[in-house]
């Protein structure tokens, strides 16, 4: 049995690099979180005004650019899209709402576990439940329609946007007294590693994720549908390497209480990630995979990421997101809307088939 595979290498790299980024300045157990970093980036460009959550995360820029270079070198840059774009925006929107109830994406769920945070277990259970919901609908014939080959013009737009974000991050550009970009001076977004370290770490992970097709959603789905445990081994490598790295760095804290940027409302942790798992499953990929697909020229992934950024704006503008103290009074309504949206899509799949 082959142990060292590309998914294992990619998972292990994430498990090592993320704690190192935390050690270098990123928030605790949030060395690399796609949802949290998209939220911070959304705040930086003004989609929300939560002052502690505004910073253009260079890890995301590196992830997209690394995947782009890897795809070009492997001749896997294949522009495609057109598969239910508005539906994908909606799925990304509600996926982000679910993630900000749990306070993390699937990557962070496993990284939190690797840091000893046992509150993550309710979220991981919810994630798996949501993926099983997506599998149920796929077995019923659910489809968002077939993607079509597109010209390279549209595929280069996300790459150009990533480069624009890098310029804004490095220059902190402003129009006179009117800021173009917002940067937190306190809170989670004010905690970050050196820009170039973060950018390089993201680029390395972008290359590895692109080559490996690493996906936390596919890890469960492939095991259930085809008995393929390849991606799951990558997830296991992620948790094991994160655990060992955190122990070596003195960052490992085992237990349920006083974990960094987490809350103990287990039901809402479960439901938030259940919504995430369902949205990610229906859109065929976790946010990390979607960001990597941007670098491969996939416009469908761009629509999903756009939805996530809009979801981040709504989550903080309308107080849907949770905090370390737990959920707000409005959170249950946002989750209910997300589940209704997903159930509607799942049961109306015939209208969505190509």
- Domain locations along the chain: 6-352
Of the candidate ranges 61-70, 96-105, 149-158, 306-315, the one whose mean pLDDT is the lowest? 149-158
pLDDT score, position 177: 66
- Does position 200 have pLDDT exceeding 80, yes or no? yes
pLDDT score, position 261: 94
Instruction: Give tens-digit pLDDT for 316-344.
Output: 999 999 999 999 999 999 999 999 999 99
Residue 1, classed as helix, strand or coil, is coil
Cβ-in-10-Å burial (0-12, 13-18, 19+) of 78 comes to middle
> What is the pTM (predicted TM-score) of this model?
0.95
- Strand ranges inside 249-303, DSSP E: none
d(CA 83, CA 352): 9
pLDDT score, position 175: 72
Instruction: Give tens-digit pLDDT for 274-298.
Output: 999 999 999 999 999 999 999 999 9
Per-residue pLDDT, averaged over 108-128, amounts to 98
Give strand pairing partners of 174: 179
Q: Are the C-beta atoms of 224 and 17 separated by less than 8 Å? A: no
Average pLDDT, whole number, for the chain? 95
- Does position 223 have pLDDT exceeding 90, yes or no? yes
pLDDT score, position 277: 98
pLDDT score, position 354: 40
- Does position 178 have pLDDT exceeding 70, yes or no? no
Residue 99's φ and ψ, nearest 5 degrees, are: -65, -35
pLDDT score, position 172: 86
Q: Are the C-beta atoms of 312 and 38 separated by less than 8 Å? A: yes
Q: Are the C-beta atoms of 340 and 279 separated by less than 8 Å? A: no
Instruction: Give tens-digit pLDDT for 124-177.
Output: 999 999 999 999 999 999 999 889 988 888 899 999 999 999 999 999 887 766
Percent helix, strand and coil across the chain, each rounded to 5?
A: 65, 5, 30
pLDDT score, position 350: 60
CA-wise closest residue to 147 among 300, 285, 345, 279 = 300
Q: Are the C-beta atoms of 29 and 260 separated by less than 8 Å? A: yes
pLDDT score, position 353: 43
The more confidently predicted of residues 179 and 88 is 88
d(CA 236, CA 242): 10
């Amino acid at each position: 049995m082959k142990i060292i595979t590309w998914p294992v290498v990619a998972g292990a790299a994430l498990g090592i690099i993320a704690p190192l980024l935390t050690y270098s300045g990123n928030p605790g157990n949030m060395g690399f979180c796609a949802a949290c970093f998209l939220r911070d980036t959304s705040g930086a460009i003004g989609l929300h005004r939560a002052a502690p959550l505004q910073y253009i995360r260079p890890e995301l820029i590196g992830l997209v650019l690394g995947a782009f270079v890897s795809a070009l070198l492997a001749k896997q840059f294949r522009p495609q899209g057109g598969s239910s774009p508005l539906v994908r925006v909606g799925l990304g929107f509600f996926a982000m709402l679910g993630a900000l109830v749990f306070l993390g994406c699937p990557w962070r769920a496993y990284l939190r576990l690797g840091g000893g945070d046992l509150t993550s277990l309710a979220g991981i259970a919810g994630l798996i439940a949501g993926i099983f919901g997506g599998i149920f609908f796929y077995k019923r014939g659910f489809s968002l329609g077939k993607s079509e080959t597109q010209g390279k013009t549209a595929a280069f737009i996300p790459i150009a946007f990533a480069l624009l974000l890098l310029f804004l991050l490095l220059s902190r550009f402003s129009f006179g007294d009117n800021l173009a970009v917002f940067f937190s001076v306190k809170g989670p977004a004010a905690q970050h590693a050196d820009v170039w370290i973060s950018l390089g770490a993201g680029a390395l992970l972008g290359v590895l994720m692109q080559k490996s097709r690493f996906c936390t959603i596919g890890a469960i789905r492939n095991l259930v549908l085809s008995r393929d445990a390849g991606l799951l081994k990558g997830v296991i490598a992620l948790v094991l390497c994160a655990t060992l790295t955190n122990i070596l760095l003195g960052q490992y804290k085992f237990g349920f209480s006083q974990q960094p940027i987490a809350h103990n409302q287990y039901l809402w942790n479960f439901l938030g990630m259940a919504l995430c798992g369902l949205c990610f499953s229906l859109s065929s990929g976790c946010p990390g995979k979607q960001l990597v697909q941007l670098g491969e020229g996939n416009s469908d992934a761009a629509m999903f990421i756009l939805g996530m950024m809009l979801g981040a704006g709504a989550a903080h503008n309308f107080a849907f997101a949770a905090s370390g103290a737990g959920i707000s009074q409005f959170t249950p309504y946002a989750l209910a809307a997300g589940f209704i949206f997903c159930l509607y899509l799942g049961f109306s799949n015939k209208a969505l088939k190509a």
